[in-house]
């Protein structure tokens, strides 16, 4: 299978990059499954139903979230009727929505997508390791799922790496989100799981984490309240990771970083061209 995971969409530039580029990439790379983190897609804070529909229509098979899941209050309602929108699986019992789902892809494969949030320097949610363990036990790769993608929305690279190694051999891809900065450590771990500490963001990289530079800098210099942070409005860049799996096992065979757009050096899976 051919999998593509794209990092946090930040505002309109990120949405435009996805809607303009993803349909062509699905055809060009013959993608079987696309998962995108959308927790900053609505003005940099959360997601609404119209944007969720827009991202899915552009070619995403599933959308993951994170600590900004509920910044748009309507998400608390429409997430229950949209099975392809996932919030962290380790939110407390009774939280609206779901944290994992077995997605039927356009190519006829079944991909388990799991969204989980770390606890270091983040909200003190339930144990992320145990929460994902439960999902993998009920939907093992190679028996129920053809592939498994785990989005680890976390601040600390140590926690992300620990989860990558812990689930090595039981998932196709463990990928980090949240920091909006793409890391250079994409690789296939010893047990056959693809890993990357952070997929980066889909947004304007002439910014501070996708937000306008001026207010971000001012807050560091003055440490006083200011205006609401707003997304930078330059051209957006796609950032993420591409994975090719073994159809027999679901484990990764090849992996490549994806960066398409201005401000960063472009790279893509040349083994698919």
Residues 78-115 have pLDDT tens digits of: 999 999 999 999 999 999 999 999 999 988 999 999 99
Please give the distance of CA 128 from its chain centroid, rounded to a whole number. 16
pLDDT at residue 273 in the model: 87
DSSP calls for 4-15: EEE-EEBHHHHH
- Is 153 tagged catalytic? no
* Residue 160: closest CA among 44, 66, 29: 66
pLDDT at residue 94 in the model: 95
Residue 69 has pLDDT above 90, yes or no: yes
Q: For 170-224, what is each residue's pLDDT tens digit?
A: 999 999 999 999 999 999 999 999 999 999 999 999 999 999 999 999 999 998 8
Query: Among all chains, which residue has been given the structure tokens 């980066």?
Result: 200
Average pLDDT for the chain: 97
pLDDT band at 226; cut points 50, 70, 90: confident
Domains of the chain, each with CATH number or no CATH:
2-272 (3.60.21.10)
**Burial zone of 273 (CB within 10 Å; 0-12 exposed, 13-18 middle, 19+ buried):** exposed
Pairing of strands 147-153, 173-177: parallel
pLDDT at residue 267 in the model: 97
Taking a C-beta distance cutoff of 8 angstroms, is the pair 264, 182 a contact?
yes
pLDDT at residue 8 in the model: 98
Mean pLDDT value across residues 43-52: 97
Pairing of strands 194-196, 187-188: antiparallel
**Burial zone of 66 (CB within 10 Å; 0-12 exposed, 13-18 middle, 19+ buried):** buried
DSSP designation for 189: -
């Amino acid at each position: 299978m051919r999998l593509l995971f794209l990092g946090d969409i930040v505002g309109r530039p990120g949405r435009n990059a996805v809607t303009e580029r993803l349909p062509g990439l699905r055809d060009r790379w013959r993608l079987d499954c696309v998962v995108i983190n959308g927790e900053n897609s609505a003005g940099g804070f959360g997601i609404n139903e119209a944007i969720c529909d827009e991202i899915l229509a552009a070619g995403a098979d599933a959308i993951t979230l994170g600590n900004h899941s509920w910044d748009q209050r309507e998400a608390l309602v429409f997430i229950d009727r949209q099975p392809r929108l996932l919030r962290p699986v380790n939110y407390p019992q009774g939280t609206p929505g779901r944290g994992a789902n077995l997605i039927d892809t356009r190519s006829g494969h079944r991909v388990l997508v799991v969204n989980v949030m770390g606890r270091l320097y983040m909200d003190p949610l339930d144990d992320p390791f145990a929460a994902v363990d439960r999902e993998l036990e009920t939907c093992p790769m190679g028996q129920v799922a053809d592939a498994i993608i785990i989005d680890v929305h976390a601040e600390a690279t140590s926690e992300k790496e620990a989860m990558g190694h812990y689930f090595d051999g039981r998932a196709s891809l463990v990928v980090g989100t949240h920091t909006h900065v793409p890391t250079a450590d994409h690789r296939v771990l010893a047990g056959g799981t693809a890993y990357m500490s952070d997929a980066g963001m889909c947004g304007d990289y002439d910014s501070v984490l996708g937000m306008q530079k001026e207010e971000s800098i001012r807050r560091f210099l003055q440490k006083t309240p200011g205006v609401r942070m707003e997304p930078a409005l330059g051209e957006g860049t796609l950032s993420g990771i591409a994975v090719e799996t073994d159809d027999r096992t679901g484990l990764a065979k090849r992996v490549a970083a994806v960066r398409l757009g201005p401000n960063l050096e472009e790279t893509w899976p040349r083994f698919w061209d």
